[in-house]
Each structure stands twice: as C-alpha cells, then as structure tokens.
Amino acid sequence: MSNNGVPNPIHYWLLSIQIFLFSSSALNARTAHGWGTKHQNPIKGGSHNLGHGSSSSSVYDSYQPYSPIFDVPSFGARGDGVSDDSKAFQVTWSAACAVKNATIKIPSKFRLLISPITLQGPCEPGLVLQIDGMIVAPGGPRMWLKPELLQWINFKNLHDFVIQGRGTINGQGSAWWWITPRILQNQLTNRNSRYDDTMKPTAVRFYSSLNLTIRDIQIQNSPRCHLKFDNCAGVKVTNLSISSPGDSPNTDGIHLQNSQRVEVENSTISCGDDCISIQTGCSDVNIQNIKCGPGHGIRHGA
C-alpha cells in the first residue's frame, strides 16, 4: 500500500499470479485423480431420426451435459477379442455407477471378450453404456468358465439407464444351437449339475429395472433369446437390429415378461423363433414399425 493509503498496483499484480498458480495446481490435482474419466460437452444439433439405417447423425452421439466418460481401456481392457476383459469391464462399471450422468464407452475397433457377468445397480441416474466397438461372448460351452447358463450379460436393479451406439453385441451362439444336453454336460467346466436343452444363455437380460432405453445397437447370434426384459417398467427399444439365422433354435428376438409400459419401434429382427414374445404379467406394450423375418412373428403367450 502506498503512503497515502491507496493500494499499490503491484500488489494486485502479485496477488493475481498467486491466485492463478493456486487454480492451476488444483486443476492438475483433480486431473491426476480422475480415474480415467473425460468430460464431454453435449453435442448440439444433429438428426433425431430413429429410422434404422439412416446415414444422418443419430442420438447415440449425444452425451449428457458435461458427462464424465469412463473409457474401458483406461481401466485395463485390452479389446483384442482374445483376452478376457470381464474384470476390467466390471471395474469400469463400478466406477461409473457411482457418478451421475456417467458414460461407459467401448471404443470402435475394440472387441471386448466378456464372460458371464452381472452389472448391477442401484447406480446414480443417467448412466449410459456407449457401445461403438463389439462385445463378444466366449466361443461356446468349452470356454464358458462360470456355471451361469441362463444369461450372458445380466443388468439388474437399474434406473434411468441407456444403451446406445454404433456397435454390436455378439453372443457367438452357433456353438450352442444344436448341441445336445449330454454333450453340453461334457463340455462345460462345471459338471456338477444336470443340464437340459433350455439351459442356454440369453445374450442380454434386464431384471427389476425402471426407465430403460436401448437404441441403435446390433445384437446378433445369441445362444438363446437375444434381449429379455423381466420385471421391468418404462422400457423403450428403438432402431435396434437383432439377427441370427432362421434355423437357429429358440433364438427369440425380444422377450417380455412381467413388464409394463414397453415401447418397441423402428427395429429390424431376424431370428429362429418369435421376433417379439410377450409373456405373462405384461401390460401397456406398444409395438410399431417392426421388420420381422425370418422369424415367427409377434406372439402373445407361449
């Protein structure tokens, strides 16, 4: 301060430098402990046309405002389609689950080999699984290292959850389709239980979840049903592609059970059984603009 009581300008200049240095240090500290996350500004504009096969930008490129991105490579996933990335995927899920509006990203050209897995909530709202690469199942019963046979990827107890992207979920079901229970018993790692023909895994299952959106991805070659919703409410499936050969047994496209307020629209389904199967306990189901075939159509009941 000057002799006349007026602050000296050089003091302001030094104080500004100190504030800048403190802010930079704090920012670097937060970045160093970011657990592999990135921040994505919302994408503005673009098309919201959900017609399958559109060349325009779709909503799968839209992240939540300032969404923290959890890249699976940052958590140890190799993405070569050979190494088992289940543990890295589970760790990524656990980290993102605790953060509001988080996005788990599987990059393009990534092949994420995943053993049977349960991805469980409750999570913070707004969680997105962005699949731009491929998630692949183990290549048949001989590589199935866990005794869980009813589902491959099991989502449980979720609220306000989205799956989207340009990528594919590949169940590698051809090794399962025509196998007999006896051969299945011999090939599985866990042989302490008896198996029958119904004990083949559903590719993607949602259980006891609310407000789900699945859009734009492909699900192909499931050992059994491709996509199942059990005890769910507030489900929207749009612009989805499901495919397996017409002679692949019991490969329902979408299976609904004990679920309410379900919309399925603008999707293409080809499979070896019902394109959409609506079972007991379902209500307020709206299905429109579905291309079905090969397949057994849309069926209510067994």
Q: Using an 8 Å Cβ cutoff, are 121 and 96 in contact?
A: no
As a whole number of angstroms, the distance between CA 226 and CA 244 comes to: 9
Question: Which position has the token pair 């629209």?
Answer: 265
CA distances 98 to 58, 102, 127, 300, Å, are 27, 8, 9, 38
As a whole number of angstroms, the distance between CA 74 and CA 69 comes to: 10
Tokens representing 288?
Answer: 């429109």
**Amino acid, res. 34:** G
Count of helix runs (H) and strand runs (E) in the chain: 4, 22
Tokens representing 150?
Answer: 């009813």
As a whole number of angstroms, the distance between CA 125 and CA 99 comes to: 8
Which residues, 6+ apart, have CB-to-CB distance to 59 below 8 Å?
A: 46, 48, 50, 164, 215, 216
Whether 296 is a known active-site residue: answer yes
**Candidates 71, 252, 273, 274; catalytic one:** 273
Whether 274 is a known active-site residue: answer no
Q: Which residues are catalytic?
A: 273, 296
